């Protein structure tokens, strides 16, 4: 029904803000301190629409406070084949427009819609949580960027990353360029993005794109093992440390030392005050 309404208005992702996980092709489950987001359109290789990004953003907004670890994974053989290719057709995705309608939108509308989509990715960096992308099979374009939005990537041996945007005449715009440069360095990021070549699991680990590669049948256990390690440390210290690490590149050494001191003072007060 919502799709039909937006389609009538002919808008660009107008009704994708509803944010229901199922409408976005997602499943969302919380088990104590662990939340799991599953991209759940395996028959379309978990291709993503604006509704997917709105649903991701909504999950971020309403994440239960007790959650410390968020796992993002894909149902079926692929993590995600990226943006739904119907966006490239004149008809677009029902209720969510197309690139033709995006081209017709004014600059402010386009920017607002893109920010809505990016919001679905950005919260995964929040200091209070650690996000893990469990990647099997393809992670292409928007799917690759979703894996990059996570703090850690644990991958199956069939993982295949591809920043395909340039091949399609576009740029990566779902928050992926910064973490990519930070992870693999500027030259390698240029190599990957400007050739749209596929990076397989062994190379991903070698260049710092993934923390660990395991066989497909061991992926779930490897993620569980990592979660156990993460949950074993003090929650508030983990959040403070993540703040420090994420801020490090933007600070001078002196500023970083001061930031370490401020965080430690707060920790000591909390522990011994
Ligand atoms: N959008 C919509 N449908 C998709 C899709 C996508 N991105 N990727 C796959 N599908 C559909 C296929 O059309 C097919 O549907 P039907 O069964 O109805 O024909 C089904 O999923 C299975 O696809 P394949 O048979 O191709 O599956 P495969 O396992 O052999 O190959 C794949 C998987 C390598 C991911 C291949 O499907 C593929 O290359 N997909 C397109 C990837 C792509 O170009 N994505 C866009 C990236 S750019 C981006 O994401 C950035 C951005 O924001 C602009």
Together in a domain, 267 and 171: no
Residue nearest atom 2 in ligand 1 by C-alpha distance: 84
- For 272, the enclosing helix (H) or strand (E) is helix 253-272
Residue 12 has pLDDT above 60, yes or no: no
Hey, CA dihedral for 103, 98, 60, 217, is it positive or negative?
negative
Together in a domain, 33 and 163: yes
Together in a domain, 213 and 85: yes
In whole angstroms, what is the distance from residue 157 CA to residue 223 CA?
Answer: 14
Decide if 12 is inside a domain. no
Residue nearest atom 13 in ligand 1 by C-alpha distance: 44
Candidates 16, 76, 81, 158: which one to mutate for ligand 1, based on the most atoms within 8 Å of Cβ? 81
Together in a domain, 62 and 189: yes
Find tokens 């990016």 and name the residue. Answer: 118
Total structural domains within the chain: 2
pLDDT interval class at 15 (50, 70, 90): low
Decide if 84 is inside a domain. yes
Together in a domain, 60 and 115: yes
Candidates 39, 45, 80, 140: which one to mutate for ligand 1, based on the most atoms within 8 Å of Cβ? 45
Residue nearest atom 27 in ligand 1 by C-alpha distance: 45
Ligand 1 closest atom vs CA 174: 53
Query: Tell me, what CATH number does 143's domain have?
Result: 3.90.226.10
- Read off the pLDDT of residues 192-204 as tens digits, 9 standing for 90 and up: 999 999 999 999 9
Together in a domain, 65 and 170: yes
Q: Please tell me the predicted confidence (pLDDT) of residue 203.
A: 98
Tokens of 169: 């005449």
Neighbour tally for 184: CB within 10 Å: 19
Residues with C-beta less than 6 Å from any ligand 1 atom = 44-45, 47, 77-78, 81-85, 138, 140-142, 164-165, 168, 170, 174
Decide if 248 is inside a domain. yes
CA-based radius of gyration for the chain: 19
92: CA distance to ligand 1 center in Å? 15
Decide if 104 is inside a domain. yes
Q: pTM for this structure?
A: 0.94
Mean pLDDT lowest among 15-24, 95-104, 126-135, 185-194? 15-24
Together in a domain, 219 and 203: yes
Together in a domain, 62 and 90: yes
Please choose, from the candidates 50, 45, 44, the residue with its C-alpha nearest in 3D space to the C-alpha of residue 14: 50
Please choose, from the candidates 212, 232, 210, 231, the residue with its C-alpha nearest in 3D space to the C-alpha of residue 34: 231
- Read off the pLDDT of residues 145-177 as tens digits, 9 standing for 90 and up: 999 999 999 999 999 999 999 999 999 999 999
Residue 70 phi, psi dihedral angles, 5° rounding: -120, 120
Q: Please tell me the predicted confidence (pLDDT) of residue 102.
A: 86
Together in a domain, 194 and 242: no
- Read off the pLDDT of residues 20-76 as tens digits, 9 standing for 90 and up: 898 899 999 999 999 999 999 999 999 999 999 999 999 999 999 999 999 999 999
Decide if 102 is inside a domain. yes
- Read off the pLDDT of residues 220-246 as tens digits, 9 standing for 90 and up: 999 999 999 999 999 999 999 999 999
Neighbour tally for 29: CB within 10 Å: 11
Residue 29 is part of which domain span? 21-232
In whole angstroms, what is the distance from residue 70 CA to residue 249 CA?
Answer: 24
237: CA distance to ligand 1 center in Å? 41
Contact 154, 223 (CB under 8 A): yes
């Amino acid at each position: 029904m919502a799709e039909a309404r937006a389609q009538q208005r002919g808008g660009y992702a107008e009704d994708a803000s509803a944010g229901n996980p199922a409408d976005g092709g997602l499943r969302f489950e919380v088990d104590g301190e662990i939340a799991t987001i599953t991209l759940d359109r395996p028959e379309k290789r978990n291709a993503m629409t604006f509704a997917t990004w709105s649903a991701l953003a909504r999950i971020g907004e309403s994440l239960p406070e007790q959650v410390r670890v968020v796992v993002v994974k894909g149902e079926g053989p692929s993590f995600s084949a990226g943006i739904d290719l119907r966006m490239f057709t004149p008809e677009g995705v029902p209720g969510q427009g197309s690139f033709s309608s995006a081209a017709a939108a004014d600059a402010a509308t386009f920017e607002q819609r893109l920010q809505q989509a990016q919001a679905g990715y950005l919260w995964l960096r929040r200091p209070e949580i650690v996000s893990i992308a469990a990647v099997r099979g393809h992670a292409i374009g928007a799917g690759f960027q979703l894996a990059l939005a996570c703090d850690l990537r644990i991958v199956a041996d069939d993982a295949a990353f591809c920043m395909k945007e340039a091949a399609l005449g576009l740029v990566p715009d779902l928050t992926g360029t910064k973490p990519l440069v930070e992870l693999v360095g500027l030259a390698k990021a240029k190599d990957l993005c400007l050739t749209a070549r596929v990076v397989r699991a062994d190379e991903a680990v070698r260049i710092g794109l993934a923390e660990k590669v395991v066989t497909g049948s061991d992926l779930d256990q490897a993620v569980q093992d990592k979660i156990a390690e993460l949950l074993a440390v003090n929650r508030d210290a983990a959040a403070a440390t993540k703040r420090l690490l994420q801020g490090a590149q933007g600070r001078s050494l002196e500023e970083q030392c001061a930031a370490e001191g401020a965080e430690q003072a707060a920790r000591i007060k909390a522990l011994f005050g």
